[in-house]
Amino acid sequence: MSYFSQYEIAFKGLKEGKHQFRFELNDKFFEKFDSSELEKGSIKCKVELTKSSSLMILEMAVKGDVELMCHRCLDNYMQAIKSKSKLFVKFGSEAGEMSDDLIVIPLTEDHINLAQYLYELVVLSLPIMHVHVPDKNGNSTCNSEMEEKLKQYLVTEEEISEKKIEVDERWNELKKLLENKK
C-alpha cells in the first residue's frame, strides 16, 4: 500500500450530493515529492466533493504553515499559507487532463487520489519572494549577521564611479529602459 493512498477518496459508493473530507499534510508528505523546496510543513486540507452522475466537483482548501528558506538571509522560516481551488472531474473512456482544473477519469475507476493536487495547491500558494515576515514595528526579522555580510559585498553607484569600474555598455542600454529613455 502506497503512502499516498491515505489521500484517496473512494467515490463509487457515495450518493449524489455533497461530501466532506479532511486531510493533513506533514513533513513526511512533503518528503515524498522529489526536488521540492518544501520539506517541512503542517497543513490542514478540507475537500468538499459534489457528486453527480456525470461530473464531480472537488473544492479544496489548504491552510497552515510550511518551512521555507529566506531568499535574503538563507535562514529557514515558517510561512503561513492559505488557498482554495476547484477541480472538475468528468467520467470518460480514457484518463486525461483537459485543462488545469478539468480532468477525465475512466468510468471503471472507483477512487481519486488527491495527493498531487493538494501538493500543487500548496506550492501555488507560496509567495514569489521568500523572506521573513517583518516584526510588528516593520523591522526585518532576517538573520542580522547574514544581512551585515551581504552589505559588505553590496556595490553602490558611488563606489563604481570612484573606482572607475568598467561597466559593460549593454547595462546602460538596459538602464534606459527602466528610465523610459531612448
- The pLDDT value given to residue 167: 66
Q: Do residue 66 and residue 153 come from a single domain? A: no
Q: Do residue 103 and residue 15 come from a single domain? A: yes
Banded pLDDT at 153 (limits 50, 70, 90): confident
Q: How far apart, in whole angstroms, are the C-alpha atoms of residue 120 and residue 114?
A: 10
Q: Do residue 108 and residue 75 come from a single domain? A: yes
Q: How far apart, in whole angstroms, are the C-alpha atoms of residue 38 and residue 27?
A: 9
**Residue 155 falls inside a structural domain:** yes
**Residue 99 falls inside a structural domain:** yes
Q: How far apart, in whole angstroms, are the C-alpha atoms of residue 42 and residue 66?
A: 6
**Residue 134 falls inside a structural domain:** no
In tens, the pLDDT along 83-100 reads 999 999 998 888 888 888
Q: Do residue 106 and residue 168 come from a single domain? A: no
- The pLDDT value given to residue 180: 63
Q: Do residue 13 and residue 74 come from a single domain? A: yes
**Residue 93 falls inside a structural domain:** yes
**Sequence-separated (6 or more) residues with CB below 8 Å from residue 122:** 25, 38, 41, 43, 62, 66, 81, 83
Residue scoring higher pLDDT (43 or 182): 43
Q: Do residue 55 and residue 101 come from a single domain? A: yes
Which of 17, 14, 11, 15 shows the shortest CA–CA distance to 111?
11
Residue scoring higher pLDDT (179 or 38): 38
For the chain, the average pLDDT equals: 88
Q: How far apart, in whole angstroms, are the C-alpha atoms of residue 133 and residue 63?
A: 17
Banded pLDDT at 107 (limits 50, 70, 90): confident
How many independent structural domains does the chain possess?
Answer: 2
Q: Do residue 21 and residue 111 come from a single domain? A: yes
**Residue 129 falls inside a structural domain:** no
Q: Do residue 15 and residue 73 come from a single domain? A: yes
**Residue 89 falls inside a structural domain:** yes
Alpha helix segments (H runs only) across the chain: 27-31, 115-124, 144-153, 157-163, 169-179
Catalogue the E-assigned strands of the chain.
Answer: 8-10, 17-25, 41-51, 55-69, 76-92, 96-99, 102-106, 111-113
Domain that holds residue 166: 144-179
Whole-model pTM: value is 0.78
Q: Do residue 175 and residue 107 come from a single domain? A: no
